[in-house]
Chains A and B, each alone.
Chain A
Amino acid sequence: MNLAIVLVFAALIALGILVRLAVSRSLPAKGNSSPATIIRPIDMEAFRNLINPAEDDYLRRRLAPKEFRSVRRARLRAIAAYVQVAARNASVLVRMGESALASGNPQFAESAHRLVNDALLLRRNATFALARIYLALAWPDSGVAAVRLVDCYERLSGSAMLLGRLQNPAAVVRLSPR
């Protein structure tokens, strides 16, 4: 009977989640803030510095092991904060891209699809990166390879720019030379 109670409770909780999802889907979205205004800017250079292995090597040489571990943990927490913001931005871009796809305009379809794909890739990589960062927090002497994430974020920015340009051609797009 105990097993039955556990299964019934599990099934009821699952049912509650599904019903809540169905109800929340049928209700109009709260607020009218545009997804683009939710995007939080990311200081990419600061992030690049944080994940630069040369900086870590420098700190390792200069600091005592105990001090290095403490500094490294602080840097890892900062990296995690950046990655979380990037992942959140990516999820906003998924919504924006899917809305553009749902509009059915063939002009936007390709760029919107690419934006969603890149945003999902970033979200996936961010999850892996966060897992690595939290692992590295336990072992601060290990290296964290988040460089792929930076490349992904850059590509995502490009996709969003392209989609924005297609949706609003009147707006002037300024791209600084690298």
Chain B
Amino acid sequence: MLQAHSLLWHYLWVAPNVLLLVLAALIWSRRLQKQFPVFLIFAAGIAIEQLVVYIADILPAVSPITWWRIFWIGLLIEALLKFALIGEIFGLVFGLYSSVAKLGKLLISGAGVVLVLLAAVVAAYTPKDNIHWIVAGAHVLEQTIYIVECGLILFLFGLVAYFKLTWSHSSFGIALGLGISACVHLATWALAANGNFAAQYRTLLDFVHMAAYHVCVLIWFYYILGPQKSTTKSPVILPENNLELWNRELERLLQP
């Protein structure tokens, strides 16, 4: 069952991408694209890219070298879409407030530069796991993308926690799914790129990778289309004595 080209393997490769296409269609039909335009492009783009790679994998006419070329192109598109999506999440959380928007942009750009440098150093120390550069290079590139992605998502969560901002239900779900996917993929690709594992263990890592992606697609479904968590039960959240509290502060402040 846990073998390449088994029924479960086919399911885990195809189902999440079909679900992602359905999610993109539902976002469009519910007119949510104005809220998450990049996520819509991301969902549709990643799903199509993955399905193209899958079809290329099962078609006997596609040679291994052509498959790896398709995989490389897909990987680069995926990276662009992911970083654009992180930018969108950042805008959704920080864009509303001018006082921190500029600083946040500066910090996240700085973090991006540091992470790219770190990922480049890690890539330089990663041993070649395949005699064909196109295969070994793809593994290292995946690892590099996931290091940067994982770091950026964590940095974003840290920044939001530091400023005590509240995530919207959907933004949190998108960031959580992206973060979980990046962490699991980083772990599996780090093992794949550095571990020199036998083929059977590589396949197991593929299963973990695909299952995690499936879970993330379900997370996106839940957070984007599921019921919105009610944040306030009552419009008045300040206590009755709040003015007294602030008055006391101001009186003290204004005393000569």
Task: Give A contacts to B, CB under 8 Å.
Answer: 1, 3-4, 7-8, 10-12, 14-15, 17-19, 21-22, 25, 34-37, 39, 41-45, 91-92, 94-96, 98-100, 102-105, 108, 113, 116-118, 120-121, 123-124, 154, 157, 160-161, 163-165, 167-168, 171-178
Give the residue name and chain of the B residue nearest to A108 (CB): B235
- Taking a contact as CB atoms closer than 8 A, the residue among B163, B184, B234, B240 that contacts A120 in the complex is B163
Complex CA gap A165/B250 in Å reads: 14
Known: A7-B186, A41-B248, A161-B250. A94 touches B194 (CB 8 A): no
- Taking A7-B190, A121-B99 as given, write out 16 further A-B residue pairs in contact, using a Cβ cutoff of 8 Å, ordered by the A residue number: A1-B196, A3-B125, A7-B187, A7-B194, A11-B186, A15-B180, A43-B252, A45-B253, A92-B164, A103-B236, A103-B237, A104-B235, A120-B99, A167-B236, A173-B243, A176-B254
B79 to chain A, nearest CB (A): 17
**Contact across chains for B254 and A8 when beta carbons are under 8 A apart:** no
Whether B172 and A171, one on each chain, are in contact in the complex, defined by CB atoms closer than 8 angstroms, is no
Known contacts: A4-B195, A11-B184, A11-B190. The answer to whether A157 contacts B238 by CB under 8 A is no
- Find out whether the CB atom of B172 lies under 8 angstroms from the CB atom of A25: yes
Q: Can you offer 12 A-B residue contacts whose CB atoms are under 8 A? A: A3-B190, A11-B183, A15-B183, A44-B249, A96-B237, A100-B235, A103-B235, A124-B100, A154-B253, A161-B247, A161-B250, A168-B236
A54→B155 CA distance, assembly (Å): 41
Report if A124-B103 is in contact (Cβ < 8 Å); known contacts: A4-B193, A11-B183: yes
Q: CB distance A18 to B143 under 8 Å?
A: no
Q: Are A157 and B255 in contact (CB under 8 A)?
A: no
Give chain B nearest CB distance to A84 CB in angstroms.
Answer: 14
Per-position binary interface string of chain B over residues 218-248, scored 1 when its CB falls under 8 Å from any chain A CB and 0 otherwise? 0000000000000110111111111111111
Assembly CA distance A104 to B237 (angstroms): 12
CB-CB nearest in chain B for A95: B164
B167 to chain A, nearest CB (A): 8
A94–B122 Cα distance when bound, in Å, is 39
**Judging by beta carbons under 8 Å apart, are B249 and A42 in contact?**
yes
SS class of chain A's interface: helix, strand, loop or mixed?
A: helix
- 0/1 interface trace, chain B 160-174, chain A, CB 8 Å (1 if under): 001111110000100
Alpha-carbon gap, A177 to B255, bound state (A): 9
Q: Is the CB of B246 within 8 A of A164?
A: yes
Please list the residues of chain B having a beta carbon within 8 angstroms of any beta carbon in chain A: 96-100, 103, 122, 125-126, 143, 146-147, 150, 153-154, 157, 162-167, 172, 176, 179-180, 182-184, 186-187, 190-191, 193-196, 231-232, 234-255
Q: Please measure, in the bound complex, the distance between the C-alpha atom of A72 and the C-alpha atom of B197, giving whole angstroms.
A: 61
Known: A11-B150, A11-B187. A161 touches B245 (CB 8 A): no
Q: Taking the nearest CB of chain A, how far is it from the CB of B148, in angstroms?
A: 13
Contact present for A99 and B231 (CB under 8 Å): yes
Q: List chain A residues, Cβ under 8 A from B187.
A: 7-8, 11-12, 15
Task: List 3 A-B pairs, minimum CB-CB distance, nearest first.
Answer: A4-B194, A7-B190, A121-B99
Q: Which residue of A lies closest to B164 (CB)?
A: A91
